[in-house]
Structure 1
């Protein structure tokens, strides 16, 4: 006796692949925006903090907004960069997993989303913050996009561009709030950023010694000795600038029972020396990992923040 024929079930009109496509695209765009790098944008609080105006009502409203706008600009740069380098990234053992290189995000989509963010962020800054903030974001985008397309292949200039990106972050909050930026703030922040950038490059150079194709081609044109010289020079100038600020007469008035400005020098120098240990070992390739994983450095950082806060606080 023949078994009854089982009729096939009707196919779903929405396949799992098509249903997950928008979600996968959104997750891919988020990954390309490099959420781990967003911590860098906290530097927008640097200028208001140095002026003792971090907790004013206006600062509490404006600074989160500046952080978001700077993050949007950085995401735009990452999207454009990954779209442009998609072919090269596919041949790289690590970068081939990036969403654009892996095909999770089509190249035209990456360009379109990046371009949209690059237009919207400065426009919103001009409307919600100030024209100066908008001009800074436009300058940041122009410089970083130039870096993506050509400047990252130019010796020394690549170090300067990356350092300038950090300095612009530190300046953004001050411009949004109309806070004058002191020469000591600019010197210490600029050379402090160069110290970390050069230490990162030095660590990459040490780790790739004797290897071929392990990292960016330009890095092979630097010598380890030169990069060591740069980060040591930058560390020295950053410390000097900070010391001159702390010992400057007629600066932020002394408040409290102790000379907080002078005491903060000890913590600042200790932080530089502790970070230099990892730079010298060639283990500062990921600055955020160094700061977050080394308990001693984290503790020194907390002490410095406390002392610095007491130094600039306006009671």
Structure 2
């Protein structure tokens, strides 16, 4: 049977892999040696082949963890079992394909680009012909650049969107289809809209100042919420782009859209500035200067966190706590509601506790390994837990001091009701840390709170006590 089956030539980027090694290398270079990006135009002047070779030489991605297209892999394994010869043909340097071929153990040969040849389109077909001679072959590809190779094959197997497959079939009717529909849910997941709940903090200043009935403030607060949400989504995309390699080593983060290959890397690079710009556009059009400043401060601190601060122990959690506190500042500055020093001090300690909680959960999930790109090891787990619990209880102490201050009577007619919120806060902080210690919390405490009925009960109790104190 093996003699009757034509050899099957398989493309690498976007076909066998759910990602593109050239974009992977570009991101790796941007992450490790960003100043070398300035050399890319000079490499390109020497030809696309030189650009590919130099990029991969500067920042070779971790081939072992690149996401594979499972349905394609299973078909190739079945064809190999039938005795079919498999050849990997890639426009990336042949050395990259050889690493993957060695990992899979399916291919008898690898053909690809060199520093003098860009193995794309007709050049790839020529390499295949050079290896197989005039022997008929079938080809599996995924892009318009593969048309010359399909034209030289006896069957055209296609990976792509249903629309792309229909266009290919107009020219090459024979072959197997691997449809990859555009997943809007993956694009939405890349923006992490569930994280927008954090930006509800912009409404906190007007709520605590008892000015929720002033309609003029709502427009500003909603605009601040929208601006922060869009800027945050843009920065989440940037964060996922920079962390894509580390995320693939993580037990849960490897399922993120970019790490898994559900969204191409180039799409993320386009989305990030687009969404980021929309956020600042809303801020500039609607918010007062201080509100725009707050959005800018949030964007700058977030960018610093993604690019640098997240790798520095302790500074990373201070930055995370600062991002939460800046959201409160944005609410006050956007609505021009005076901000209480008590509120800001409470926010710093409380959100510092949540930031340590996030790191603690990540450390526990790795089971003794070092936390990638975070600077923590398993030896730090107990210390991180201590810092986090202490920060949470310091927040409660700040709240108790506020209840003893003259400031409380200016806003609350019956402040004695607020004292009952102290045990609720103590319980909730202890409950969150106990849940994390028992392994019942995901990487992000916010996700846990959003799905946790106990947290909703505590929040309802706190809200009720504040209403009673105001009556």
* Corresponding residue number in structure 1 for 2:320: 162
Question: Is 2:389 the partner of 1:232?
Answer: yes
Checking the alignment, whether the CA contact within 8 Å between 2:246 and 2:373 is kept in structure 1 is no
The equivalent position to 1:199 in structure 2, one of 357, 363, 367, is: 357
Change (3 A) 1:265 1:34: same
1:278 corresponds to: 435
Which of the pair has more CA radius of gyration?
Answer: 2
| Residues 98-154 of structure 1: CA deviation (Å, up to 9, x unaligned) | 322344433333222211222332232122011111111111111111211221111
Tell me which residue corresponds to 2:456.
Answer: 298
Please say which of residues 254-263 and 234-243 is displaced more in the overlay. Answer: 254-263
Unaligned stretches of 5+ residues in structure 2: 1-159, 167-178
Structure 1, gaps ≥5 residues long:
1-13
* Match of residue 247 from structure 1: 404
Partner of 2:162: 16
Q: Distance in 2 between matches of 1:289 and 1:88?
A: 21
Distance between the aligned counterparts of 1:125 and 1:19, measured in 2? 42
Kindly state the Cα deviation for residue 276 of structure 1 after the two structures are TM-superposed. 3.5
Q: CA RMSD in A?
A: 3.0
Distance in 2 (CA, whole Å) between partners of 1:250 and 1:82 is 43
CA drift of 1:254 comes to: 6.3
Query: Is the alpha carbon distance of 1:153 and 1:209 closer, same or farther for their aligned partners in structure 2, counting shifts above 3 Å?
Result: same
Partner of 1:52: 210
- Note if contact 2:370-2:378 (Cα within 8 Å) is conserved in structure 1: no
Does the Cα contact within 8 Å between 1:82 and 1:100 map onto a contact in 2?
yes
TM-score by length of 2: 0.57
Distance 2:370 2:433 in 1: 27
Other structure's SS at 1:219 match: coil
Q: Relative to structure 2, which stretch is displaced further, 298-307 or 254-263?
A: 254-263
Measured in 1, the distance between the counterparts of 2:165 and 2:465 equals 53
SS of corresponding position for 1:251: helix
Find the residue that maps to 2:375 and give its secondary structure.
Answer: helix
Q: Which residue of 2 aligns with 1:125?
A: 283
Question: Is residue 107 of structure 1 aligned with residue 249 of structure 2?
Answer: no
Partner-residue secondary structure (3-state), 1:100: helix
What is the CA–CA distance in structure 2 between the aligned matches of 1:18 and 1:291, rounded to whole Å? Answer: 42
Question: What is the DSSP-based 3-state SS (H/G/I as helix, E as strand, rest coil) of the residue aligned with 2:387?
Answer: helix
- Larger strand proportion of the pair: 2
CA contact (8 A) 1:247 1:262 kept: no
Q: 1:148 aligns with which of 306, 324, 336?
A: 306
Q: Give the 3 Å change call, closer, same or farther, for CA 58–221 of structure 1 in structure 2.
A: farther
Residue in structure 2 matched with residue 6 of structure 1 by the alignment: none
Alignment-derived partner of residue 135 in structure 1? 293
Paired residues of 1:246 and 1:265 also in contact (CA < 8 A): no
Q: Structure 1 or 2: larger helix share?
A: 1
SS in 1 for 2:339: coil
| Cα drift, residue 198 of structure 1 | 0.8
Structure 2 distance, partners of 1:250, 1:93, is 48
**Aligned counterparts of 1:22 and 1:40: Cα–Cα separation in 2:** 33
Cα displacement (A) at 1:279? 4.0
Distance in 2 between residues matched to 1:122 and 1:41, nearest whole Å: 15
Give the deviation of 1:38 after TM superposition.
1.9
CA separation of 1:213/1:274 partners in 2, compared to 1, >3 Å: closer, same or farther? Answer: closer
CA deviation profile, 1:174-220 (whole Å, cap 9, x unmatched): 1111111111101111111111111222232233333x477655232
Q: TM-score, normalised by structure 1?
A: 0.82
- Name which of 268, 280, 298 aligns with 2:425: 268
TM alignment of 1:16-95, pairs within 5 A: 16-18=162-164, 24=182, 26-90=184-248, 92-95=250-253
Report Cα offsets for 1:20-72 as digits up to 9, x if no partner: 99982643321101122222121221221121123321233222222111110
58-67 vs 81-90, greater mean Cα deviation: 81-90
Q: Point out which structure has higher relative CO (alpha carbons under 8 A, 6+ apart).
A: 1
Q: Is the 2:311–2:373 contact (alpha carbons within 8 Å) kept by the matching residues of 1?
A: no
Mapped contact 2:162–2:180 kept (Cα < 8 A): no
CA distance in 2, matches of 1:83, 1:224: 27
In the alignment, the residues of structure 2 paired with residue 220 and residue 17 of structure 1 have an alpha-carbon distance, to the nearest angstrom, of: 48
Q: Which 10-residue stretch deviates more, 269-278 or 164-173?
A: 269-278
